Structure 1
Amino acid sequence: MQAPNTPHNETQRLAALHALQVLDTPKQQAFERMTQLARDLFDVPIALVSLVDKERQWFKSHQGLDVCETSRELSFCAHAIAHDAPLVIEDTLQDERFFDNPLVGDLPHIRFYAGYPLRPTNGMAIGTLCLIDSQPRLFSERDVKLLGSLAGQVEELLRQHQLQAELTRTASHFEALFTKSATAKIRIDHTGIIIGINPFALALLGYVEAELIGQNVAMLTPPNIAAQHDSFISRYIQGGEPTVIGRGREVEALHKSGHHIPVHLAINAIHDDQGAVVEFLGVLTDLTGIYDANRRIRKEENLLKVLHQGITDYQALMSGERLWTFLMEALRELTDSDYALIGEVMPTDTTNALKIHAITDLSWSEESKHLMEQLRSGNMTLTNPNSLLGRVFASGDVIMTNDVYRHTKRGGFPSGHPRIDNYLGVPIFNGGQLIGMFAIANSKQPLNQALLDWLQPFTDTCALLINLYRQMAERDQVMSDLGAARDLAEKANQAKSEFLSSMSHELRTPLNAIIGFSQLLGKARRDPLSDKQQRQVGQIEKSGQHLLSLINEVLDLARIEAGHVPLSIEPILIQNVLDDACSTLEATIEAAGITLTCLPFSEPWYVAADYTRTKQVLLNLLSNAIKYNRQHGTISIAAEALDTELRISIIDSGTGIAIERQHELFEPFNRLDAEHGSIEGTGIGLAITRELVERMQGRIGVTSHPDIGSTFWFTLPITERDTSEEPASAFKSAGANASLQHQFQLLYIEDNPANQRLMEDILEEFSHVRLQTVASAELGLEIMRHSPPDLVLMDIHLPGMNGFQALDIMQQDPQLKHIKVIALSANAMERDRSYGLAAGFKDYLTKPIDIDKLTLTLNHFLYAAAITSRKTP
């Protein structure tokens, strides 16, 4: 038996067959009538519509044959497909291809076969209309043509089948898109009558289907629109300019219960073959969640605005005696309340009293008006501990009621007193001490725990401001007030250490002002400070730098563990790093009364390491050796070569560490109970040190004995000196090079008033620089277009357009793209700096500002600008 050949276009042929979607479908009368007609016309016992699949032939119709498929290997039709032409075998026993085919010797005993290829699509032969007889017979050319005509009818049936399958699928798809869609959809006819609505729309509008089908769609619109709705449709059909159809806009839908639902409505017109509108499909997207979210965002923005203004402008508010009125009015606005008060708790010998700083006018008579004036002036305090107010300022309780007149602690209201429906009284604590309270009444918001929690930042801000108010009342000097505010900020920061790592930007922004202004005050030439003031300013800067180092340590550990700290591995002389580290700690060592000895090295060793990070490792280990040493103790530094490594040891005479706890030393935030003592620290210095050493392919360890001392050691790979090193040249100072005689224009884009004032004070020393400060990128761009500066300092987080967006606009503008821009941001992660430089900033400085680094950077760029100006005719 000869197996049929595989056609050269088999892949395309099978694709065409499967696209018909006919394989394994049930019997269809049209195909059965066609094969019966073929049997009758040609007087044969068997007529088949045979489809040749990859491994089989399947019969769509099989008149005279009981089976519905056979193997393709035995298939006569497969030979017709391979032949790609009508195949007639008048006597199979005389044909060497088929005489031994099992279908010839066994049932159905094929002696005659005639098959005409079926090509319903793309000319691909996917099967045959075939005739089979158990007796040999002749088959004329006329018979072949007649069989071809019948095959053409079968092809048409196959095409119709495919079309019907596609229509069915399209209908199912439409059903899913409309009925099962998770979007509200409504169908109306050209007169506005509802002819279909999906379940999602019914749920959104509160109806059942029977209530809407056959009704005008105007019933789903608010009354002010409903009367005009039909005219919208008719005007569109008559060719008028559409307002919603084909465009979409935000509107309100009318719920069955009567309330309005904000939705986005998109309407599409559906036309017939002649272009006439037959119906409209409306798609409604519920915007309730978005509107609610926007309301919450506006509410949060209002809260943040109040907190920001209260903290940043508190000096101006206090000096103008507007602080408490500002807070009271902000509280009323935030809570939609008619009345509010805010006051300070004054401890007495018997109980707490309340000094009211601001209160909404509740007067209803001349006598009550006089009482309100006394309360506002602070000449009168409240002392009754059993009233709704007293329970708050005397006992520190939160009092919340939505029915004042039924509350057990309500006092009597005099005749004519304005009606009070609800009331919320909130105590203000500072570290467990009750220092004030605020209260609201007749709030249009529900009084509940959610509102109380939402107001917590306001409460905390009030606590801060009450403390600042007390401090400013007790002290005359502004620096003392700033020191107290710094202390409060440090306490708050210590209580939120976990929050530090994710809020570096917010923490660095106020530190920028604290450290920057303290540096300026300490270096003031025009108005030098007294020795006492110098010590106070020095303490402010020292404490600010300490807070910054704690923040940096937490962020540094996170960056190192995440592998985000790039290292510049190069040959470095270890002696230079040791000298640098010891010089940095020289004053600390002297103040602690420690004797430091650096044992002589046998030779000048070079190690493969990052200079800055190696110095950080040494500083961490030496700092610990100083902090945990004895009074008048000793520290020794030694180095020895161990094969390919250099081992550096820091040996101290401290109290030592018990052997059973030495394994805890390098765990983050584990200070081995030292946190209960007087020595400051975060407990992550050694964790950072280990990570840095290991990233530089080194090892670290400790040996220690209680009451004797400890030896902390680390290793680094030994390497050869890089002979290509050249000493770096220093920048020229634009300030010193007065011969250039150029007045520089510097534009500073910064929205924070404190940072603006700081930059103005810093640049007072730059007599050749004219500083212009603006609070937004949009205004900065306008200024650049009209008066291009020599250099731009730009914050990243700005209101409206941010720094990156502004830089992109400058780079696209031929008039502005030549202007150099330096980023100055509190985003201080390494990836922030890398991203900023990649975006096109010429340099990326971080807050808090390092004034020396800023000065060096400005000198460098302004010197370059001066050279360019000098060369330009």
Structure 2
Amino acid sequence: MLPPPTPVDEPRRLQALRSLCLLDTPAHERFDRIVRAASHLFRVPIALVSLVDEDRQWFKARQGLDALQTPRDVSFCGHAILSSGSFVVPDALLDPRFHDNPLVVGAPFVRFYAGHPLRAADGSRVGTLCLIDHQPRDFTDADRGALADMAGWAEVELNALNEREARTALEQQERFFEVSVDMLCIAAMDGTFLRLSRAWSRTLGFTEEALYSTSLVDLALEEDRAATALNLARAREGAPVLQFEHRARCADGSWRWLQWNAVPDAEEGLLYAVARDITQARALEEERQRVERMKNEFISTVSHELRTPLTSIRGSLGLLSGGIAGPLGAEVAHMVGIAYRNSERLLRLINDILDLEKMESGRLDLCMAATEVAPLLAQALQAHQGYAAEYGVHLEVKVDAPDARARVDEDRFNQVLANLLSNAIKFSPQGERVTLSLTREDGTLRVEVADHGPGIPESFQPRVFQKFAQADASDTRKRPGTGLGLSIAHGLVARMGGTLRFVTRAGEGTRFSFDLPECTPTPPGPGA
């Protein structure tokens, strides 16, 4: 970590900062409004007006952060005040100045930072308007320009709105409203437009005069007006943020989908908002959903049609293997055995597909009941002993809470364990062990399956729970599977009130685990 250097004009800068008389003063709506607007405009969880004192950065306004201040020697803003333009860190973990910074490796977990310096009346850079995200991201030249314009707004407030600063802020606001590709507006609480950016005319085709003569509600399609008016009513009732969508009329008779992010100001009776045209994005999403529905319906139909004859074929092959038609020759018995095993594999695949289809359509019914968990683990381990023997893998169970109970569907719980155990066995080297464990932690029960295999490749980790996802999807892969097991297990655990997760290390193995609320024993009734 590299602490920020001290500016060459530090004495003058500190004097200018203290002359503002803002340090350690209560929050003020004029600054809070700025950080709320910045957070929503740039879609970041944290936005701050920060003042850099001698040994700290103190936050005059905060959105998304509880801390009032942080030390200056770990601050990003201490670096930002060294230059006249925006200071941007796309990914702090990749920046040698910040990769081990306590604000990066710990709360608030800064990954992206963009700060523009704020100047006092004499030009001293006394603080910043800054944006923080927990994910790395790009920051375009247009974003830099927008941040600089918003920083100009903050500077006006910082310097008590004297005439010169107010004129500068007005010019910057005008430029901001003119060049923004988003549809910016300031409206009254009844939806009357008071200020609109030029993007409104470009998007909807109306002249500015026509737009100012209508309102947000009147602009919506008739079937969307009631919902739009309801959102405005929420603003009047004190809702801190509004997020909604509606269809808006265009001058040529067509309509566009608009997505709104708005911040009401109850004191002034105003609504500060940005609307984005999401018509194309919605059309693409609707088409994707339509294709997904068609695919799921096709898979479901085919699976249902296949299961009945396949069940019959599997049963017939099982009878033949059992000798119902008399002894079979060695070669015939071998071929019948292969056919029987493959029919079982196909039937499992079809059942998996149908389970997924039921989960996604909300038609999967679970029979939840308070159940002792330890016996279910023992059953799962016993059921997989033969499979583990084929791979030369040893199974073990560790139970630290033998009498613990949880509300589960026994069959589906066993299905989750079967998927996790079979996966762990397949990817364990010969002679290694797979451990199934049950522990109790703060009123919850943790079920874990741990192996000592190669671990999950980093490139595949984001797709572990996706349907048909496999780290090795080639036709020559060594380990069989459809890529459905973990997706099904993830969905079933969620339906039973838990979250399936994993921890993996290359060359050391993988641990899949999930937590379930423990059922407290029911006290005996009177006379029991």
* Bin of the TM-score, shorter chain as denominator length: 0.3 to 0.5
Higher-Rg member (1/2): 1
TM-score (ref. length: structure 1): 0.25
Name which structure has the greater RCO, CA cutoff 8 Å, separation 6+: 2
TM-score (ref. length: structure 2): 0.41
